[in-house]
Structure 1
Amino acid sequence: MTTGPETSDPVGDWRIYRGDGRPHERVRRLPPPPPWRRFSPDETVPGRGRRAEQAISYRPDASVVDKVNAAILLRRPLLVTGKPGSGKSTLAYNVAYELGLGSVLYWSITSTTTLQSGLYHYDAIGRLHETSLRGVRGRADTPDPPDIGRYIRLGPLGTALLPGDRPRVLLIDELDKSNIDLPNDLLNVFEEGRFAIPELQRLPEEQARIHVMTEDGGPRVSIEHGEVHCANFPIVIITSNGEREFPPAFLRRCVRLVIEPPGRERLAEIIEAHLGAGARAASERLIEEFLARRADGALATDQLLNAVYLATSGSRPPEAELNEILDTVLRPIETPGAG
């Protein structure tokens, strides 16, 4: 016999999921997520989504601020190395938010990433297919060629190099995962601040100006004679987990920054920025526990934030259950000598 959802709700029970196989409506009581896990933008505050919350709450130390300024003034990429969860990627969003430079152009690197994928993509098959369709539907002998600009989309690096009165922020994430050639392939683009699109350079002179799509989905932009020249070098932040060495020629062209794990006071400031002064005051014991565990293995700052949120939110588990859950949340990512 099938029964409807259970409606009774024991007072003080923090669990949403019970695991007893009995349908219920407790998901309607799901509390608001932590600020760093809000995926829907707040329509009352433009740009306030998950990334904006992270950017606003990011608290770099003085050495990080100085290295960022050096890279901006020198128009050089900033190579940021640090443990996972140390805030390397969030730094880019923090810079873009503070300087009012719009959305961050994000380029995630894998072992198969090539320089061209960062510059532009040309959908030659799609254009050929449309040409064939036009030939079938119209005059097969002289079909009008489709607009090639509809089949070229600039990648994150290509979009960042578009000329403008203000620089864009480009995040090249986890470059150490790339193939061995990509860092060297980037050198000429970084030095020259420009690149060519051969498919457009081959067009006749009457098609010297073509409007193409961009990575961030904005209005199509004009490219003349198949070349993109930046007017202001973008603020390029490259992250690395330190899993490989980069070529000396590449390192020479970057400002290098190593983000060290935050200390006690910095952790307290981060907690307050995300969860408020009350959470900071109530988290002294958790900070001590976090620092002790971090000495024995790698822990990310967001693990501490998760622990503080569970311990201080209105839907917190009872004390007897909380300790076991916190032990799971604060489990080291890796231990010394592992791997």
Structure 2
Amino acid sequence: MGEFRIYQGTGTVDTGGKRIRRRAEPPPWRKFDGGPATTLDRDAPVGRRLPDRARVAPYQADEKTVRMVNVALHLRRPLLVTGDPGTGKSTLAYAVAHELRLGGVLRWPITSRSTLISGLYHYDAVGRIEEASLRPGEEPDIGRFLRLGPLGTAFAPYDLPRVLLIDEIDKGDIDLPNELLDIFEMGEYGIPELERVADRVPQVRVRPSDDGERVSVDDGRVRCREFPLVVMTSNGEREFPPAFLRRCVRLNLAPPDEPRLRAIIQAHLGADALAASEALIDEFLARRDRSSLATDQLLNAAYLLHDAGGEGQPDRDDLVEVVLRELSGPA
């Protein structure tokens, strides 16, 4: 029998790296056998940008969030996270990768132009043709002209689950959620450019989106070995199809209450900043009751008032007015 609390939400790194291996065996209908296995670099930074790395340790996960992350981990199902801007939806993916030592987060930011193929891979057909023209009679290594996207990399046969952040999925094309269903169910996808040459080149090594160790693709198909932790965020701009929702573990992040706001400020800025921000927290809560505000606005205000003070600092009320501006109002 497995251990339920794989992710504990404390921000403390599982230095031994054993907790993720203590998950329960997957349900029979969620077992995957892709290969050959690629070793995950567990010590890779969770994010390429410094802010991605700096904010994960102090991330404040409540009990409900911890529970739902673990449900998704055990069931090998994607986690759909909804909530207002600034509630920590995206940061959750980095926090889990940080605590469980699951390497770099694969981030796929969604726009209205995002397609399933763009998330899976990119094929440089022009580059391959140019190289073939320079070397007549030689067949170029097709793997050099392929690069997996974040989605495609997440479903490569790693020995441990990758963490994939599909950010703001509600901004994508209306058909994108349904297009993802087949990959989420089957745990695999094909690359037509490799399938066409599979009889001559049955195994090709291609670059993952994070430039890690190359991934072997057999017979033109990529199949996961460990289903990734897929964190999809949504600001609630539209509804999703029932078929999509029933295959997801759903988590709604409510705006943090006063105790959690206090904990967030202390975790990020320290006890002294918290002590100096008591009135600011009250003002933030009062404003949030009347309009749309994000938690990072409170952090920005607390930082300015405590850490960026001194000579030349504007009046406190002016600073608060500038930083705690309603998100839905005019610019």
8 Å CA contact 2:198, 2:219 repeated in 1: no
1:61 is aligned with what amino acid? D
Q: Percent identity?
A: 56
* CA distance, structure 2, for counterparts of residue 67 and residue 55 of structure 1: 18
- Following TM superposition, by how much is the alpha carbon of 1:314 offset from its aligned partner in structure 2, in angstroms? 5.1
* CA distance, structure 2, for counterparts of residue 124 and residue 291 of structure 1: 54
8 Å CA contact 1:150, 1:212 repeated in 2: yes
Aligned ranges 1:188-267 → 2 under 5 Å: 188-267=182-261
Give the equivalent residue in structure 1 for 2:121: 120
- Following TM superposition, by how much is the alpha carbon of 1:108 offset from its aligned partner in structure 2, in angstroms? 0.6
* CA distance, structure 1, for counterparts of residue 313 and residue 191 of structure 2: 62
Give the equivalent residue in structure 2 for 1:129: 130
Query: Do the aligned partners of residues 317 and 110 (structure 1) sit closer, same or farther apart at CA in structure 2, a change above 3 Å counting?
Result: farther
Which stretches in structure 2 are left out of the alignment for 5+ residues?
1-42
| Deviation readout 1:240-271 (Å, 9 max, x if unpaired) | 00000001100010011111000001000000
8 Å CA contact 1:71, 1:77 repeated in 2: yes
* CA distance, structure 1, for counterparts of residue 62 and residue 328 of structure 2: 25
Give the equivalent residue in structure 1 for 2:99: 98
| Deviation readout 1:97-123 (Å, 9 max, x if unpaired) | 001001100001111111111111111
Give the equivalent residue in structure 1 for 2:71: 70
Asked which structure has the greater CA Rg, the reply is: 1
1:301 counterpart (295, 298, 305): 295
1:266 is aligned with what amino acid? R
8 Å CA contact 1:195, 1:227 repeated in 2: yes
* CA distance, structure 1, for counterparts of residue 305 and residue 213 of structure 2: 46
8 Å CA contact 1:310, 1:317 repeated in 2: no
1:164 is the counterpart of 2:162: no
2:189 is aligned with what amino acid? F
* CA distance, structure 1, for counterparts of residue 268 and residue 262 of structure 2: 10
Give the equivalent residue in structure 2 for 1:108: 109
* CA distance, structure 1, for counterparts of residue 133 and residue 123 of structure 2: 17
* CA distance, structure 2, for counterparts of residue 123 and residue 84 of structure 1: 37
| Deviation readout 1:55-104 (Å, 9 max, x if unpaired) | 11110111111111111111110000111111100000001000100110
Corresponding residue SS for 1:110: coil
Corresponding residue SS for 1:292: helix
2:277 is aligned with what amino acid? S
- Following TM superposition, by how much is the alpha carbon of 1:47 offset from its aligned partner in structure 2, in angstroms? 3.9
- Following TM superposition, by how much is the alpha carbon of 1:204 offset from its aligned partner in structure 2, in angstroms? 4.8
Give the equivalent residue in structure 2 for 1:80: 81
8 Å CA contact 2:44, 2:103 repeated in 1: no
* CA distance, structure 1, for counterparts of residue 193 and residue 266 of structure 2: 52
Corresponding residue SS for 1:333: coil
1:94 is aligned with what amino acid? A
| Deviation readout 1:249-295 (Å, 9 max, x if unpaired) | 00010011111000001000000010011111111100000000101
* CA distance, structure 1, for counterparts of residue 320 and residue 240 of structure 2: 38
Which stretches in structure 1 are left out of the alignment for 5+ residues?
1-44, 136-142
| Number of aligned residue pairs | 285
1:166 is aligned with what amino acid? L
2:234 is aligned with what amino acid? S
Query: Do the aligned partners of residues 114 and 252 (structure 1) sit closer, same or farther apart at CA in structure 2, a change above 3 Å counting?
Result: same
* CA distance, structure 1, for counterparts of residue 312 and residue 258 of structure 2: 26
* CA distance, structure 2, for counterparts of residue 316 and residue 221 of structure 1: 53
- Following TM superposition, by how much is the alpha carbon of 1:316 offset from its aligned partner in structure 2, in angstroms? 4.2
1:275 is the counterpart of 2:269: yes
* CA distance, structure 2, for counterparts of residue 242 and residue 116 of structure 1: 24
Query: Do the aligned partners of residues 296 and 316 (structure 1) sit closer, same or farther apart at CA in structure 2, a change above 3 Å counting?
Result: farther
8 Å CA contact 1:310, 1:316 repeated in 2: no
1:285 is the counterpart of 2:304: no
TM-score, normalised to structure 2, is 0.83
The more displaced of 175-184 and 212-221 is 212-221
Corresponding residue SS for 1:245: coil
